[in-house]
């Protein structure tokens, strides 16, 4: 009985991972970037995970974090989606953003499946110095 339950759970996890379409995750990131370009931080915050929404509390707090900590996301020049990977059940989408001054920024978006679909559950800025496109 226990082995059967574990088998069913492992099958469900494998099926979920197979359903994880990077294009769906990229669409969420695109919609958030579009909201940033419109300075619509309420809309942009809607693409964040429930935990991030609770953490920031208000669109004004979210705006302050984005504009001060992630200016390349707030005002991107070009956006290129690189690899998607899954590590230990966590989905990551790597993104190369060239800001409006032509500087390259490499970011890892941590994605989370919620009842409302994919949401952004954090963004890490990586060292783009050694990255060659």
Examine residue 10 and state whether it is found in any structural domain, yes or no. no
Task: Identify the CATH number of the domain in which residue 84 sits.
Answer: 3.10.450.50
7 assigned to some structural domain: no
Residue with tokens 């669109």: 59
In a domain, 60, yes or no: yes
Q: How many CA atoms lie within 13 A of 112 on its CB side?
A: 14
pLDDT digits (tens, 9 = 90+) for 90-114: 999 999 999 999 999 999 999 999 9
Residue 124 reports pLDDT greater than 50? yes
Is position 133 within any domain? no
- Is the confidence at residue 121, as pLDDT, over 60? yes
Q: Is residue 34 part of a domain?
A: yes
Q: What are 39-83's pLDDT values in tens digits?
A: 999 999 999 999 999 999 999 999 999 999 999 999 999 999 999
Query: What's the structural domain count of the chain?
Result: 1
Which residue in 104, 107, 127 sits closest to 66, CA to CA?
A: 107
Instruction: For residue 5, tell me if it sits in a domain.
Output: no
Q: Is residue 9 part of a domain?
A: no
| pTM of the predicted model over 0.85 | no
- Residue 102 lies in domain: 22-126
Confidence of residue 12 (pLDDT cuts 50, 70, 90): very low
Residue 92 is assigned to a structural domain of this protein = yes
| Position 87 pLDDT exceeds 90 | yes
Mean pLDDT of 15-33: 84
């Amino acid at each position: 009985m226990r082995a059967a339950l574990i088998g069913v759970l492992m099958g469900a996890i494998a099926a979920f991972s197979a359903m994880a379409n990077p294009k769906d995750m990229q669409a969420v990131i695109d919609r958030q970037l579009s909201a940033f370009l419109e300075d619509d931080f309420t809309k942009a915050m809607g693409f964040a995970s429930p935990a991030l929404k609770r953490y920031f509390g208000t669109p004004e707090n979210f705006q302050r974090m984005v504009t001060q900590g992630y200016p390349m996301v707030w005002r991107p020049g070009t956006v290129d989606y690189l690899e998607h990977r899954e590590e230990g059940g966590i989905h990551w989408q790597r993104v190369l953003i060239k800001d409006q001054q032509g500087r390259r920024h490499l970011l890892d978006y941590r994605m989370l499946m919620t009842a409302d679909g994919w949401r952004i559950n954090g963004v890490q800025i990586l060292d783009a110095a050694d990255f060659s496109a």
